[in-house]
């Protein structure tokens, strides 16, 4: 799991969970590598939701606090069907 603010400067690995305040078109290359996406902002028509639907990625948008509560490297489980992020270990 990795928190990304600036996608151009991010060291993002394939298979990581992308956590950010919100996505924009410049996040798409990272989203292609992501296992799932979690955002602080957004709704069902947000950029993150639309792109994740197209890529068939689990996505939870509008958490308001993901970038504050989660830390890089944490093990988390993302259940996009129920909108739940579960911390597996700290």
The residues annotated with a catalytic role in the active site are: 47
Task: Give the whole-angstrom CA distance, residue 90 versus residue 81.
Answer: 24
- Transcribe 8-70 into DSSP letters: TT----TTPEEEES---GGGHHHHHH-SEEEESS--TTSHHHHHHHHHT--EE---SSHHHH-
């Amino acid at each position: 799991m990795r928190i990304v603010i600036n996608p151009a400067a991010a060291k993002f690995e394939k298979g990581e969970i992308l956590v950010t305040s919100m996505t924009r078109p410049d996040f798409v290359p990272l989203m292609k590598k992501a296992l799932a996406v979690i955002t602080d902002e957004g709704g069902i028509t947000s950029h993150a939701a639309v792109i994740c639907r197209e890529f068939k990625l689990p996505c939870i948008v509008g958490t308001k606090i993901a970038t504050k509560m989660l830390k890089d490297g944490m093990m988390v489980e993302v259940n996009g069907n129920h909108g739940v992020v579960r911390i597996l270990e700290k």
